[in-house]
Chains A and B, each alone.
Chain A
Amino acid sequence: QVQLVESGGGVVQPGRSLRLSCAASGFTFSSYGIHWVRQAPGKGLEWVAVISYDGSNKDYADSVKGRFTISRDNSKNRLYLEMNSLRAEDTAMYYCAKDLSGHYTFDIWGQGTMVTVSS
């Protein structure tokens, strides 16, 4: 079945870096754009970034632009999120979500990985 599994979360100090990973299976990974969406504890959803099917196009939310980098390795069916200069407000559950191609929405979500930025 179609599945996305995130990993790499944990506790990190402010100003440090962390890399999240999202492993895809059950679909042709290289044919779909993939998003990162986050949710702070007890708060709403916030779109973070998107990467096109071939990695040629990337877009970011203003809140993470210049600090976060989205990338993918289609040979490994993996998506990444490199997070630098982390802040307390980056504390959240991070989900990867598959783009419903051509429909500008996210149809399949992973279970999420928790990132806590704290000293």
Chain B
Amino acid sequence: QSALTQPASVSGSPGQSITISCTGSSSDVGGYNYVSWYQQHPGKVPKLMIYEVSNRPSGISCRFSGSKSGNTASLTISGLQAEDEADYYCTSYTSSSTWVFGGGTKLTVL
């Protein structure tokens, strides 16, 4: 199972919006609405931000949103804040009844 493809890094200024893409195949991202996004600060445990493409768990800011088109899912963060600087990972359920992660994207808030 190949890892999902994410950009290695993205950056934005406070207040701006950024989008992180996550590209897979019809066997994972394109085949199921089971894409999730996790935020991980250095030395910390991953935190669920989005599940089932666009659902936010309780307590997650509405500045975080998700979408999907074909084999590519996207995470958008609006109104960037310094605390958003972290690594972001997508994951998808697959046709093999397994899960696959993306390689991760480092978000820098300028």
Contact = CB atoms under 8 A, between A and B. Distances in A.
A40 to B, nearest CB: 12
By secondary structure, the A interface counts as strand
B34 A103 contact: yes
Contacts of B96: 59
Interface in A39-62: 44-47, 50, 59-62
Contacts of B46: 37, 45, 95, 109
Q: Interface centre among A44, A95, A105, by most B CB within 10 Å?
A: A105
A46 B38 CA distance: 13
A35 B91 CA distance: 13
A109 B89 contact: no
B24 interface: no
Interface in B43-78: 45-48, 51-52, 55, 57
Interface of B: 1, 3, 32, 34, 36, 38, 40, 45-48, 51-52, 55, 57, 89, 91, 93, 96-104
Which 4 A-B residue pairings sit nearest by Cβ, starting from the closest? A104-B34, A47-B99, A105-B36, A44-B104
